[in-house]
Amino acid sequence: MRVGMYYNNSKVEVEELPVPMVGKKDILVKVMASGICGSDVLEWYRIKKAPLVLGHELTGEVVEVGGEVTKFKRGDRVFTTHHVPCDECHWCLTGHQTACQVFQTKNNFNPGGFSEYLRVSGKSIDTGTLLLPDEMSYEQGSFIEPLGTIVRGLRAAALKPGDTLLVLGCGIAGLLMIKLARALGAGRIIATDIDDYRLEAAKRFGAEKTIRADGDIPGSIKEINNGRLADKVIVCAGVLSAAQQALQSVDRGGSILFFAVPNPGEMLNIDFNPFWRNDISLKTCYGAAPLDNVQAMELIRAGNVDVKDMITHRFSLEEIAKGFIAAGEGKNCLKVIIKPHKE
């Protein structure tokens, strides 16, 4: 079968690998749509394990089922995800499923979503694979995992109806934050970025106001928000400057969610006195647990979060190098979908 083998962002080559053998507890999925995640083009993060086949935002058709698998059958249309929690450890049992060591270290995909066929095994059969609703396309289903991370993020941020929300960074994560926050009844939504194309997308998707990230963000928020800063601030850009701007942009009684963080080794200096005195919370969020993915799927199915208008590029597996270039450069680009098979 053909796969897209990742070496670095500018070298992703179509190669041949054997179709994975299916064990008695596995399923084989014919991959129909696989999104390029922002983490896939985070070169410092990915290149350490290269060469490898990436791809974890995917949907497809079950074409082979192990003898002990009863949950799925041939022909089922499914969404599946590679990292799932164990549901047994201290962190899982206390609601921190994405801090589970199994979640963070066990990969249940072979080889990855940028391939013609994918073997899914382990806990990903039990809690990480879902039947796609009949009315949901494969492309829409490929957004379940990324939207699941947003569901978890906004739950961690404790967004309330009417809150003023600042989203720093308008990549796919930031834009999904805006869409879901609007669906959940946020008040003013303000977005920042350095790219005008993404700022325009933010306006289309529900932001009331946009600000250039190289401008006076706290001052602009006060002008927009009757002299107040933002109730909730969500960092969706993995750069130190965005983290620093977040500290300056949150109102008394508010909270900052670090959905994205600076590079390893980059330090953020914080004077905790204002945060302590003004009842401001700092939070983090990582990944999506099975519940988050179930809720994301229903949000897409019900039309509460429309994802179709976020796809700007589609490429066949043979064109995957072009897909990585488009996603990595980000020029006039939101979501890139790789389609190993024609529907």
Q: Per-residue DSSP letters for 268-324?
A: ----HHHHHHTT-EEEE--S--HHHHHHHHHHHHTTSS--GGGEEEEEEGGGHHHHH
Does residue 70 belong to any structural domain of this protein? yes
pTM of the predicted structure, to 2 decimals: 0.96
135 lies in the same domain as 168: no
Does residue 57 belong to any structural domain of this protein? yes
> What does the pLDDT read at residue 45?
83
Does residue 295 belong to any structural domain of this protein? no
pLDDT above 70 coverage of the chain, percent: 100
61 lies in the same domain as 92: yes
Does residue 271 belong to any structural domain of this protein? yes
187 lies in the same domain as 251: yes
Q: What mean pLDDT is reported for the chain?
A: 96
CATH number of the domain that 245 lies in? 3.40.50.720
Provide the pLDDT confidence category of residue 343 given band limits of 50, 70 and 90: confident
> What does the pLDDT read at residue 131?
98
DSSP state for residue 109 in the 8-state scheme: E
pLDDT for residue 54 is more than 90: yes
80 lies in the same domain as 109: yes
Residue 92 in tokens: 């899982």
What span, in angstroms and rounded, lies between the C-alpha atoms of 170 and 190? 11
Residue 108, SS3 per DSSP: coil
> What does the pLDDT read at residue 249?
98
pLDDT for residue 326 is more than 90: yes
The amino acid at 3: V
The residues, any chain, with a CB within 8 Å of residue 264's CB and separated by 6 or more, are none
Residue 226: HSE in the Cβ half-sphere, 13 Å Cα cutoff? 4
Dihedral angle sign, alpha carbons of residues 39, 41, 47, 53: positive
> What does the pLDDT read at residue 284?
97
| CA–CA distances in Å: residue 279 to residues 11, 33, 106, 108, 251 | 48, 44, 38, 41, 9
Average pLDDT over residues 123-151: 97
Give the Cβ contact number of residue 272 at 10 Å: 9
Report the domain count for the chain: 2
CATH number of the domain that 9 lies in? 3.90.180.10
Provide the pLDDT confidence category of residue 82 given band limits of 50, 70 and 90: very high
14 lies in the same domain as 137: yes
Does residue 25 belong to any structural domain of this protein? yes
**What spatial distance separates the first Cα and last Cα of the chain, rounded to whole Å?**
18
pLDDT in tens, 203-221: 999 999 999 999 999 999 9
pLDDT above 90 coverage of the chain, percent: 95
List the domain range (segments joined by +) for residue 204. 151-284
273 lies in the same domain as 312: no
> What does the pLDDT read at residue 79?
98
280 lies in the same domain as 326: no
> What does the pLDDT read at residue 342?
84
pLDDT in tens, 172-208: 999 999 999 999 999 999 999 999 999 999 999 999 9
Does residue 289 belong to any structural domain of this protein? no
187 lies in the same domain as 108: no
Cis amide linkage into residue 51, ω under 30° from 0? yes
pLDDT in tens, 219-268: 999 999 999 999 999 999 999 999 999 999 999 999 999 999 998 899 99
> What does the pLDDT read at residue 42?
83
132 lies in the same domain as 181: no
What span, in angstroms and rounded, lies between the C-alpha atoms of 233 and 236? 10
> What does the pLDDT read at residue 1?
97
> What does the pLDDT read at residue 181?
98
Which segments of the chain are extended strands (E)? Answer: 2-8, 11-16, 27-35, 52-53, 57-65, 77-80, 109-110, 117-120, 129-131, 165-168, 189-193, 209-212, 230-235, 250-258, 281-284, 311-316, 335-339
313 lies in the same domain as 228: no
Residue 191, SS3 per DSSP: strand
pLDDT for residue 44 is more than 90: no
Q: What does the buried/exposed string (b/e) look like for 8-26 if buried means 16 or more CB atoms within 10 Å of the residue's CB? A: ebeebeeeeeeebebeeeb
Average pLDDT over residues 67-95: 97
Single out the residue of 337, 318, 317 nearest to residue 326, CA to CA.
337
137 lies in the same domain as 222: no
Does residue 302 belong to any structural domain of this protein? no
Does residue 330 belong to any structural domain of this protein? yes
Average pLDDT over residues 305-309: 97
Q: How wide is the angle at C-alpha 211 spanned by C-alphas 205 and 215, nearest 5°?
A: 160
Average pLDDT over residues 293-306: 98
> What does the pLDDT read at residue 247?
98
Q: Are residues 316 and 343 in contact, defined by beta-carbon separation less than 8 angstroms?
A: no
11 lies in the same domain as 132: yes
Give the Cβ contact number of residue 309 at 10 Å: 12
Selected residue with higher pLDDT from 48 and 14: 14
